[in-house]
């Protein structure tokens, strides 16, 4: 039996390879909360007087984000919100888990229903040219909705549950595609550059996906059971598998990539951003690099297609 390296009493349940630590369930949970607290404080993500919105999808990462933030910062005012994307069966399960989580934490849940608010669902994009790239479209739509919700509920910070694996996979994919605009959105902290925007933060960006799953399991946190049907066959899954192969040989591989991104690539991206001119989208009123933002262009195309179906 291997003893926990922290308490030296309980049997170890978790092996943290990059830290070379055997931990019991209790010490692992404390280790996770400590890392979240240190990340928020190191990157000055928010303070005690900030109003922080937490996007809760119903999945493990956002659930662990809200749960650990409440544990680590009991005096901060957090507001949970959920976007119902209208994906058949999947969205129903997500909403139920988001409601169960906020009930557990004694928090109110603000629900944004995409169908009611905008007149369409993510499933509707199956009828468009984006049917094989719905995950990408979904991300674009959610970014717009997150801005709207943040403004509506009156917060000045928005926290999302991007974990280490998400960060590295998106970095890898966008680097291959040469999409440096998307890469800039991966920064752990994105300050608002327009009055209609809020600061966006990623408190879990240094925590691997398997650790958020373990934390949710050990603490009986309600998380969705359904897998999004649009993820099947996605390049995202294949690229994550490829990154896992590298990580098996080198447990620090993902952290090394993240370090290069933070120390080398971000300064270059920030210089590019200084030169970039922004305008305001003629449709939604939020900042955009073009007269009509990417989300509104896709929505207009979708409604044109649906009108012919």
The CATH number of the domain holding residue 256 is 3.40.50.620
160 found inside a domain: yes
Least confident span in 107-111, 262-266, 279-283: 262-266
Neighbours of 278 (CB within 10 A): 11
23 found inside a domain: no
Q: Over the stretch 1-31, which tens digit does the pLDDT of each residue have? A: 899 999 999 999 999 988 899 999 999 999 9
283 found inside a domain: yes
With 60 as the cut, is the pLDDT of residue 309 above it?
A: no
Residue 22 phi, psi (nearest 5): -100, 125
C-alpha distances out from residue 201 to 13, 44, 64, 191, 198, Å: 30, 9, 15, 9, 10
Please count the structural domains in the chain.
1
Query: DSSP labels for 150-172?
Result: HHHHT-SEEE----HHHHHHHHH
With 60 as the cut, is the pLDDT of residue 308 above it?
A: no
117 found inside a domain: yes
42 found inside a domain: yes
Dig out the tokens for 300 from the structure: 């207009």
18 found inside a domain: no
Q: Over the stretch 271-304, which tens digit does the pLDDT of each residue have? A: 776 667 788 999 999 998 889 999 999 999 999 9
50 found inside a domain: yes
Dig out the tokens for 133 from the structure: 């790239």
280 found inside a domain: yes
Structural domain including 94 reads 29-306
Average pLDDT over the chain, rounded to an integer: 91
């Amino acid at each position: 039996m291997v003893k926990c390296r922290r308490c030296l009493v309980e049997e170890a349940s978790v092996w943290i390879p990059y830290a070379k630590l055997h931990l019991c369930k209790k010490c692992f949970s404390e280790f996770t909360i400590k890392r979240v607290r240190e990340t928020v404080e190191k990157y000055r993500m928010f303070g005690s007087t900030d109003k922080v919105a937490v996007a809760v999808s119903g999945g493990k990462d956002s659930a662990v984000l809200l749960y650990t933030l409440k544990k680590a910062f009991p005096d901060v005012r957090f507001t949970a919100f959920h976007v119902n994307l209208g994906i058949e069966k999947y969205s129903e399960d997500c909403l139920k888990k988001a409601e169960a989580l906020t009930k557990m934490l004694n928090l109110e849940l603000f629900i944004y229903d995409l169908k009611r608010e905008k007149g369409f669902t993510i499933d509707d994009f199956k009828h468009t040219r984006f049917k094989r790239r719905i995950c990408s479209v979904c991300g674009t739509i959610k970014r717009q909705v997150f801005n709207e919700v943040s403004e509506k509920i009156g917060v000045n910070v928005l926290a999302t549950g991007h974990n280490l694996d998400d960060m590295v996979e998106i970095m890898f994919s966008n680097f291959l595609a040469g999409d440096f605009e998307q890469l800039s959105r991966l920064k752990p902290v994105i300050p608002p550059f327009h009055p209609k925007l809020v600061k966006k933060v990623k408190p879990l960006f240094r925590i691997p996906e398997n650790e958020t799953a373990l934390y949710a399991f050990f603490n009986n946190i309600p998380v969705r059971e359904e897998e999004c049907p649009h993820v099947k066959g996605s390049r995202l899954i294949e690229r994550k598998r490829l990154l896992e192969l590298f990580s098996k040989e080198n447990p620090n591989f993902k952290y090394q990539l993240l370090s290069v991104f933070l120390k080398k690539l971000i300064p270059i991206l920030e210089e590019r951003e200084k030169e970039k001119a922004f305008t305001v989208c003629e449709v939604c009123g939020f900042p955009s690099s073009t007269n009509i933002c990417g989300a509104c262009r896709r929505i207009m195309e979708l409604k044109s297609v649906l009108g012919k179906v």
